[in-house]
Amino acid sequence: MKIGEWSDADQRSRMPSDRIGLPLHPRTKDRILEAMRTFLRDCQEWGWIPVRLNPHRALQTPSSIRKLIGPDPRVVEKDVWAKILWAAMNLEAQDLPVLQGTATAYPLEMVRAIAVVWCFAALRANEIQRLRVGCIRWQYEDVMIPETGEILPKDATCFLDIPVNKTSTAYTKPVHPLVGKRIKEWEQVRPREQPRALDGKTSEMVQFLFSYRGQRVSRGYLTRFLIPLLCRKAGVPHEDSRGAITSHRARATIASMLYNAREPLDIFQLKQYLGHKHLFSTQHYLKVDPTKLANQVVKAGYLEQNLATIEVLLDQDAVRGCPR
């Protein structure tokens, strides 16, 4: 089966033309077999067809395909990501698209806040959309870190309250002070008379942070509007070698950078930072920097260790006198 095969004309028109006809990726093959297993199981359980086979055994993904599936975080290239960060931190009114001659869809303060949250907080698009008013809390006094004795000065860190999501309950994570600054700027100009809206995950009526004129920002706003806006300001294409830059790719990029930093977070700390329930999920967001890996290999001194062993074990005079 190839990409685009058995697709209708409308669906095929949405696919990149240069990929139509290419072989499916192993992960896609696994998803198709999983869909078939689920479909046949449901048909049997609902009594639509007789039970003649076990779909999980008959349509199990072959091991040759499963072994080809591995972590694929789709990290944004460093130079491209640096330019996008610059664009997010320097958005101006003239960068926003104009509607009906003079008006913009959202105030500048709101767009700035969304852009900085996306670039720094490593959140899912749904989590950004569901942030609530008052989600930022500042550290107002100096705190000593018991393990090192270092003093963390006040206002050096702010904390962001994350709502309930698909893998964890509500939790709080530290974020860059710029995130708190931009959110505070938006909250100061955000219309206060907006009605509360229903949070579908918690069934609560809440004040959503990114809401304007009674409507909260759509889930697709990041990918369809904000990211192309940042790419235009940064002077970078909307796609890189790994494909289109989508809202979720920031999450993988931030996780990999924190993991490869000079003083990195370990995988357990990243699990908590990303709000994952299982460590297995966190592994799919990490990509080891080849430069850092090469540096660690050099420091390991593999050749030096073996040369020392060779000198001890071998009779050097006998080796030198051996005829070639």
Residues 69-109 pLDDT 10s: 776 778 888 889 999 999 999 999 888 887 665 556 889 99
pLDDT at 227: 94
Q: Strand, helix or coil at 152? A: strand
Answer yes or no: is pLDDT of 163 > 70.
yes
pLDDT at 153: 60
Tokens representing 285 are 């967001």
Q: Are residues 50 and 127 in the same domain?
A: no
Residue type, 267: I
Q: Is residue 307 part of a domain?
A: no
Global model pTM greater than 0.85? no
For residue 202, the domain's CATH number is 1.10.443.10
Answer yes or no: is pLDDT of 121 > 70.
yes
Range of lowest pLDDT (81-90, 147-156, 191-200): 147-156
Determine the structural domain holding residue 192 and report its residue range. Answer: 78-283
Q: Is residue 322 part of a domain?
A: no
pLDDT at 25: 87
Give the model's confidence band at 299: pLDDT under 50 very low, under 70 low, under 90 confident, else very high. confident
Return left, alpha or beta for 213; rule: phi > 0 is left, psi -120 to 50 is alpha, else beta.
Answer: left
Q: Are residues 141 and 39 in the same domain?
A: no
Which one has a higher pLDDT value, 230 or 14?
A: 230
Q: Are residues 275 and 194 in the same domain?
A: yes
Q: What are the beta bridge partners of residue 208?
A: 132
Answer yes or no: is pLDDT of 259 > 70.
yes
pLDDT at 84: 94
pLDDT at 213: 87
Range of lowest pLDDT (12-16, 19-23, 211-215, 264-268): 12-16
Q: Are residues 62 and 131 in the same domain?
A: no
Q: Is residue 323 part of a domain?
A: no
Contact between 90 and 229 (Cβ < 8 Å): no
Range of lowest pLDDT (42-51, 58-67, 83-92, 153-162): 153-162
pLDDT at 102: 54
Number of domains in the chain: 2
Q: Is residue 302 part of a domain?
A: no
pLDDT at 226: 93
Residue whose C-alpha is closest to residue 89's, from 65, 122, 54, 119: 119
Which one has a higher pLDDT value, 60 or 262?
A: 60
Answer yes or no: is pLDDT of 111 > 90.
yes
User: Pick from 283, 298, 319: which residue ends a domain?
Assistant: 283
Q: Are residues 217 and 251 in the same domain?
A: yes
Task: Give me the phi and psi of 138, to 5 degrees please.
Answer: -95, 155
Q: Is residue 171 part of a domain?
A: yes
Q: Is residue 145 part of a domain?
A: yes
pLDDT at 131: 94
Q: Is residue 129 part of a domain?
A: yes
Q: Is residue 245 part of a domain?
A: yes
Residue whose C-alpha is closest to residue 118's, from 230, 206, 8: 230
Query: What is each CA distance from 147 to 144, 151, 158, 261, 316, in whole angstroms?
Result: 9, 11, 21, 20, 50
Mean pLDDT of the chain: 84
pLDDT at 160: 92
- What would the mean pLDDT of 61-66 be, rounded to a whole number? 87
Q: Are residues 144 and 259 in the same domain?
A: yes
